[in-house]
Structure 1
Amino acid sequence: MRPALTFVALSLLASSSLAQTPPAASVEVNYDKPEHFRDASLDSNGYERGADEHVMKELRSYLQTLGKRYLPPGQTLRIDIRDIDLAGRYEPWHAQAYTIRFMRDITWPSIDLHYALSQQGQLLNQADAHLTDKFYLQRPGRSATSDRLYAEKAMLEEWFRKQFGVQRQTSS
């Protein structure tokens, strides 16, 4: 085969295999009435209800990262977050009442959500989930991080890995 024909044949082969590659996995995160969330603010607003933009942006970005890590190509995961209760509490009797969250055994994080997993427009699975991590203070590496949402991210990663990680291993 002449070099020019070989190049054309290889180019056509490469473009046809690229056309068959499924799109990357994606995660869409929505917040359902975040102004009514129990405790989803890191701002110094004390015990006001609702979620702040920083928390919503960080958790959305983290869930999208988890989707890239655990979902097979071509799958779409829609997550509707219905409530967030961050780890720890502000304690008004302390000097820095609304600048420090005090972490206690009884102030674990929780997130209520609904998810729907689909592939090529076909629904594969959907369910409600109530995530909690009552042992968040015992997680390894907790004290070595300055991430203020460490407990929530660790809880989400564990849920994501258990819920969707097995699926990735079997579909590879």
Structure 2
Amino acid sequence: MRSVLACAVLMVLAFDSMAQGTPTAQVEVRFDHPEKFRDASLNSQSYERGADEQVMKALSAHLQKLGQRYLQPGQQLRIDIRDIDLAGRYEPWNSYAYDVRFMREITWPTIELNYTLSQPGKPDQQAQERVSDKMYLSRPGRQVSSSDRLFAEKAMLDDWFRQRFAPKPTS
């Protein structure tokens, strides 16, 4: 009985400290005119410009997950994505593979973005960047059998996020 009561008290105290305590890190992702993006659709039937919801949701969720991993409590990151060019290209002339995105050395992923990092007691940090990975096909440890159609873009964003926002080790 005592252990149940002690667990209940500890849970209430932990919940109360989380509700009052330290603010969590947060990532907000916005897409600036996605209908004009160069190549941000996983739908091979439409070869025109634009982004589809599947790509925008997957990249937003991935960036938010990276924020939970690398940002410090209280940090707020706003990312405005201005253009996306996914890795690979559809080759409609390949009649037996019309829905396959062919990965070539010259079709690396690129994402153009602006970001603003806000944190208590410090001025906002802002930058405009073009994130790309020209070596995406020769990455060590790349999962060739991955079923994730955005594996190259997510790996590229992993590296970029870690380099920009991961806490630096102290000496």
TM-score, normalised to structure 2's length?
Answer: 0.84
Structure 2 residue ranges without an equivalent (≥5) = 1-9
Q: Distance in 1 between matches of 2:15 and 2:95?
A: 65
Q: Distance in 2 between matches of 1:105 and 1:14?
A: 51
CA contact (8 A) 1:46 1:90 kept: no
Mapping of 1:20-169 within 5 angstroms? 21-96=21-96, 98-120=98-120, 123-139=123-139, 140-167=141-168, 169=169
The 1:114–1:96 alpha-carbon spacing in structure 2 relative to 1, beyond 3 Å, is: farther
Q: Distance in 2 between matches of 1:96 and 1:17?
A: 59
Structure 1 runs, 4 residues or longer, greater than 4 Å off: 13-20
CA contact (8 A) 1:46 1:98 kept: no
Q: Distance in 2 between matches of 1:156 and 1:135?
A: 14
Structure 1 residue ranges without an equivalent (≥5) = 1-9
Q: Percent identity?
A: 62
The 1:56–1:96 alpha-carbon spacing in structure 2 relative to 1, beyond 3 Å, is: farther
Q: Distance in 2 between matches of 1:34 and 1:162?
A: 26
TM-score, normalised to structure 1's length?
Answer: 0.83
Q: Aligned-residue CA RMSD in angstroms?
A: 2.4
Count of aligned residue pairs for this structure pair: 159
Match of 1:42, SS? coil
Q: State the Cα distance separating 1:95 from its structure 2 match.
A: 1.2
